[in-house]
């Protein structure tokens, strides 16, 4: 992990004391475990937020029994699902049945490698960055197809095929729109008005719609539609495998929100005008642990804004039919994103 | 890939994140009850008896969508490096890339008009 000088000094001070010599070789595991802990807490928070926000939209009270204000609801759900019996379909393919949700979870977890939470606070500073997320998220439809086929149920099979078709249809606008942005450092040159949100409004909207469709959230909820396909490819799942699908869905939502933040909303920069706190700007440029904490906090705050928008959209818009969904992806978003790419490049050419 | 050291953390993260479902299955295997029964093993068909075989005939339209997806995905792979290093290349490269995108738009219009993108 690329780490700042203060952290290097801390680690060096650890290494000089002889007791920690043998631990020093394994120091690389700490950032990974920190990220996994952060992701886990993030998922718990999202589950709780979803319940509370949906309750507020529907004018009812959300969870209130599991812990104070229902904060431990996600843990209670997870524990319940862990203790449920794991049913395997009798003539289904057991190996595909088990591997399907695992692939869905692993491919989403791997995308967290390239998200920068602050200046050089990224787990893997690869040259390809966003492209790694696009490439790995293309593996998720394989997991959906495996789980649909291995369930020995025609509705699950049909649901799995539809979910895979939906996933792949929205990959292309996602990829094309993320290729036209320059990432946080270039955005920070102009402060608030340099955010890619203003420079690429069409791209932002297309990216938002495509990432909602990738996460299979409403209004693109058809794989989980209760009236049409029971629960789609998740019908025959019970217990912890169902929990893995649930987890993959929320992880995908969080990583999409983080990518929207980094690509379009200026990442860890806090430069909203008209807020008269100039001393905060000086703190922002301060190196050290406090600066890093502020950066992480800003990134997470922006990502949670997007989560709020996603959750509100889920409870506001009706579900789309499969042909409407695919038409939107192929016949509307794809030409728009290609046009956006050509427009961006030609306008940059003109200004050169 | 094994010689690129900047991907070391990718492999480590892959191994650790593949432990997540393995751990989940193991804990569930230890803690969850197992009470078999004939009803539990049958497929779910909204409460009625299952009719017919469990595997549908694969409809061709899924294949058409996947095929068009592959074409556009490869196009995107080629467009990505161009879009990234766009400002250091000249106008001639822009015209070449524009012709490339036009050819692919032509292919997209062909697929659209021929009905490859229809779900009916």
Q: Residue A36 and residue B24: Cβ atoms within 8 Å?
A: no
Q: Residue B98 and residue A349: Cβ atoms within 8 Å?
A: no
pLDDT at position B106 over 80: yes
Token duo for residue B44: 């779910």
Closest CA to A309 of A261, A263, A273, A237: A261
Predicted pLDDT at A189? 54
Band of pLDDT at residue A161, cut at 50, 70 and 90? confident
Predicted pLDDT at A222? 61
Residue of A148, A152, A227, A348 best to disrupt the B interface, most CBs of B under 10 A? A152
Range of lowest pLDDT (A79-88, A318-327, B48-57): B48-57
Q: CA-nearest residue of chain A to B17?
A: A106
Predicted pLDDT at A206? 93
Between A126 and A279, whose confidence is greater? Answer: A126
Residue of B15, B33, B54, B86 best to disrupt the A interface, most CBs of A under 10 A? B54
Token duo for residue A167: 């996933």
Mean pLDDT of B76-97: 84
Judging contacts by C-beta atoms under 8 Å, the chain B residues touching residue A326 are 65, 117, 119
Predicted pLDDT at A229? 54
User: Would you say B87 and A352 are in contact if contact means Cβ atoms under 8 Å apart?
Assistant: yes
DSSP string, A217-280: -TTS-GGG-HHHHTTGGGTT--THHHHHHHHHHHHHHHHHHHHHHHHHS-TT----TT---HHH
Mean pLDDT across chain B: 82
User: Would you say B13 and A1 are in contact if contact means Cβ atoms under 8 Å apart?
Assistant: no
Phi, psi angles (nearest 5°) of residue B15: -65, -45
Percentage of chain A lying above the pLDDT 70 cut: 77
Predicted pLDDT at A19? 46
Q: How far is A165 from chain B (nearest CA, A)?
A: 7
Band of pLDDT at residue B73, cut at 50, 70 and 90? very high
Q: How far is CA A220 from the centre of its chain?
A: 16
Q: Residue B66 and residue A83: Cβ atoms within 8 Å?
A: no
Between A186 and B103, whose confidence is greater? Answer: B103
Mean pLDDT of A280-297: 67
Q: Residue B105 and residue A239: Cβ atoms within 8 Å?
A: no
**How do residues A98-130 score in pLDDT, each as one tens digit?**
899 999 999 999 988 888 887 666 777 777 778
pLDDT at position A15 over 50: no
Q: Residue B62 and residue A164: Cβ atoms within 8 Å?
A: yes
Highest mean pLDDT out of A74-78, A346-350, B89-93:
A74-78
Q: Residue B24 and residue A243: Cβ atoms within 8 Å?
A: yes
Highest mean pLDDT out of A77-81, A148-152, A223-227:
A77-81
Q: Is the dihedral of CA A308, A38, A213, A239 positive or negative?
A: negative
Gyration radius of chain A's alpha carbons: 22
Band of pLDDT at residue A350, cut at 50, 70 and 90? confident
Beta-carbon count within 10 A of A21 CB: 11
Predicted pLDDT at B102? 93
Q: How far is A279 from chain B (nearest CA, A)?
A: 36
Token duo for residue A180: 């036209």
pLDDT at position A2 over 60: no
Q: Residue A98 and residue B101: Cβ atoms within 8 Å?
A: no
User: Would you say A320 and A222 are in contact if contact means Cβ atoms under 8 Å apart?
Assistant: yes
Check whether the bond before A219 is cis (ω within 30° of 0). yes
Predicted pLDDT at A254? 92
The 3-class SS string of B26-64 reads HHHHHHCCCCCCHHHHCCCCCCCCCCCCCCCCCCHHHHH
Predicted pLDDT at A34? 86
Closest CA to A137 of A14, A34, A258: A258
Between A35 and A273, whose confidence is greater? Answer: A35
Band of pLDDT at residue B59, cut at 50, 70 and 90? confident
Q: Is the dihedral of CA B106, B109, B113, B118 positive or negative?
A: positive
Judging contacts by C-beta atoms under 8 Å, the chain B residues touching residue A101 are 21
């Amino acid at each position: 992990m690329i780490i700042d000088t203060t952290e290097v000094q801390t680690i060096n001070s650890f290494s000089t004391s002889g007791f920690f010599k043998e631990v020093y070789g394994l120091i690389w595991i700490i950032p990974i475990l920190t990220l996994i802990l952060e992701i886990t807490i993030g998922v718990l928070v999202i589950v709780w937020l979803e319940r509370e926000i949906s309750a507020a939209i529907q004018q009812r009270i959300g969870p209130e029994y599991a812990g104070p204000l229902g904060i431990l609801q996600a843990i209670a759900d997870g524990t319940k699902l862990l203790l449920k019996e794991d049913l395997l379909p009798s003539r289904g393919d057991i190996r595909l049945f088990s591997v399907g949700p695992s692939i869905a979870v692993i491919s989403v977890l791997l995308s967290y490698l390239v998200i920068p939470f602050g200046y050089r606070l990224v787990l893997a500073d690869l040259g390809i960055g966003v492209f790694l997320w696009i490439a790995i998220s293309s593996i998720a439809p394989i997991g959906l197809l495996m789980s649909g086929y291995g369930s020995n149920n025609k509705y699950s099979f049909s649901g799995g095929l539809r979910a895979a078709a939906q996933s792949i249809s929205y990959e292309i606008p996602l990829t094309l729109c993320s290729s036209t942005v320059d990432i946080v450092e270039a955005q920070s040159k102009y402060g608030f008005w340099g955010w890619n949100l203003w420079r690429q409004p069409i791209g932002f909207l297309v990216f938002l719609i495509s990432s909602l469709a990738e996460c299979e959230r409403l209004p693109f909820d058809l794989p989980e539609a209760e009236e049409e396909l029971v629960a789609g490819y998740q019908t025959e799942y019970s217990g912890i495998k169902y929990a893995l699908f649930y987890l993959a869905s929320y992880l995908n939502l969080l990583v999409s929100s983080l990518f929207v933040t980094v690509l379009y909303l200026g990442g860890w920069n806090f430069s909203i005008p008209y807020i008269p706190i100039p001393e905060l700007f000086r703190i922002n440029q301060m190196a050290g642990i406090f600066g890093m904490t502020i950066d992480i906090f800003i990134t997470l705050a922006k990502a949670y804004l997007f989560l709020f928008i996603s959750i509100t959209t889920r409870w506001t818009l009706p579900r789309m039919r499969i042909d409407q969904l695919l038409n939107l992806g192929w016949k509307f978003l794809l030409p728009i994103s290609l046009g956006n790419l050509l427009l961006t490049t030609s306008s940059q050419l003109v200004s050169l | 890939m094994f010689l690129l050291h900047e991907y070391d953390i990718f492999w480590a993260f892959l191994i650790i994140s593949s432990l997540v479902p393995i751990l989940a299955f193991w804990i569930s295997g230890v803690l969850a009850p197992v009470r078999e029964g004939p009803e539990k093993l049958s497929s779910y068909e909204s409460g009625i008896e299952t009719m017919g075989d469990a595997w549908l005939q694969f409809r061709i339209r899924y294949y058409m969508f996947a095929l068009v997806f592959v074409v556009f995905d490869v196009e995107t792979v080629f467009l990505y490096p161009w879009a990234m290093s766009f400002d250091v290349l000249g106008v001639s490269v822009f015209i070449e890339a524009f012709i490339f995108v036009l050819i692919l738009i032509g292919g997209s219009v062909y697929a659209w008009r021929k009905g490859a993108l229809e779900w009916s």
